[in-house]
């Protein structure tokens, strides 16, 4: 269980690092736009991301 969790965290870090490595200007602009969003919009994005992740986990098992 611990190995799977650490592997998942490592993979998440790799995926999170791809955009700032390949396109730092785009990444910076994306964060600038994020700071201008309302809390509800950011929460919706977070909820959608979590739901997509849960569905993917269910499909892959």
Q: What is the pLDDT of residues 16-31, one digit of tens each?
A: 999 999 999 999 999 9
pTM of the model: 0.72
Structural domain count, the chain = 1
pLDDT the model gives residue 57: 87
Domain containing 17: what range?
2-60
Average the pLDDT over 29-43 and give the result.
95
In the chain, how long is the greatest CA-to-CA distance?
39
* Terminal alpha carbon distance of the chain: 15
- Give residues with Cβ within 8 angstroms of 42, minimum separation 6: 34
pLDDT the model gives residue 1: 79
Residue 2 pLDDT > 90: no
Q: What is the mean pLDDT of the chain?
A: 93
Query: Do the beta carbons of residue 27 and residue 20 sit within 8 Å?
Result: yes
């Amino acid at each position: 269980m611990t190995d799977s969790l650490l592997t998942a965290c490592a993979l998440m870090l790799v995926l999170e690092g791809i955009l700032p490595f390949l396109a730092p200007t785009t990444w910076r602009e994306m964060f600038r736009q994020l700071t201008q969003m309302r809390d509800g919009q950011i929460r919706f994005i977070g909820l959608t991301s979590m739901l997509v992740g849960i569905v993917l986990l269910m499909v892959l098992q």
